[in-house]
Amino acid sequence: MELYLDSALLSEIEEAFEMGFLTGLTTTPTFMFREGVQDIDAMILKLSGIVPILQIEALGEDANAICREAGRLLDLGLEREKTVFKLPVSLESVKACKRLTDQGILVNVHLIYTLQQAYMAMAAGAAYVCPLVGRLQDQGHDAISLIDQCVTAVDRYGYDCKVMFSSVRHPEHVRNAINLGVHAVTVPWKVMKQLTENTFTTVGVQQFFEHTRMLTLRVRDVISDFNPTIHRGKTIYDALVVMTRGGFGAVTVLDDNEEICGIFTDGDLRRMLEREDEAGLSRRLEQLDLKVPIQVEESALLKDAAALLKEKQVDTLPVVRGRKSIGMLDIQDVIGVGS
């Protein structure tokens, strides 16, 4: 199934065609008007240099005028093999379609709302017939049935014609197009970007990243540059200041040799306040019953550090290089790895 972009916004056209596999671009004067295009001919020439196939409007009051307009556009420098002229279906349009196709010029007869309109375009040699599904559904009609009938007609009678599914409003329309066996679909960029999205896929990818990083990152790769340490001779209030400054829920307590002799946590702070109120903030840390905490080496894999946090049921681990404190691993550092 051919995949076209339906747009006139240059920035998204360039972005979409960077994918490298789109068949071409469909656009309309209405799109160009909405995007503030001042020189349609210049815009058409610019687009023709960007996209593999360009489908553009050739308007005229009658068949002669339509054919003249197609000729004028080709004379601008468009390549015949890479250009498809879109004609809104009418008696004059199918007449022009026959004349143009006899000259080897590709035509898309669009604004199709009935099978009879599609049949007239097929019989006139149109390379594409293009029902507008979204618009037809807006009017309460069974557009999906019309598409199915058009595909059946092409297959049954052997017309050298492609049914293009257009006026796509959401990804479900693209699924409809695939299931119906249409030959081409033209899709707005905002919908096309959703075609690779799925909640389960997103969750799966996040897990892949998380588990890959858990197996490759080391503790030193994720810890903060701020090392929340404090000498044991300082007060609980001082410890609270350090915790607040670093955004941690704990501080590592050091002795006179700068070695770890304890850890003071926000949980310890809450329990102290329950017992002693604010007066306890002036107590020195060395007056507390501190124990040397579980520590983790900076070179440890993150998965091993995560397992240690879980096993010991703690939220923080002092990080060491040998016997020297160099940082603090918080459980949020582990959780944040996959984000």
Cα–Cα distances in angstroms (integers) from residue 187 to residues 14, 83, 190, in the given order: 15, 18, 8
Rounded to whole angstroms, the Cα distance separating 198 from 220 reads 34
Let me know: does 87 contact 110? Beta carbons within 8 Å: yes
Nearest-CA neighbor of 251 among 288, 298, 214, 278?
A: 288
Is residue 86 among the annotated active site residues?
yes
Q: Which of 86, 95, 162, 234 is catalytic?
A: 86
Cα 139 to Cα 42: distance, rounded to the nearest angstrom = 36
Residue reference for tokens 């019989």: 123
* Burial bucket for residue 338 (CB in 10 Å: 0-12, 13-18, 19+): middle
d(CA 183, CA 206): 35
- The C-alpha atoms of residue 260 and residue 258 are separated, in whole angstroms, by 7
Active-site positions read: 86
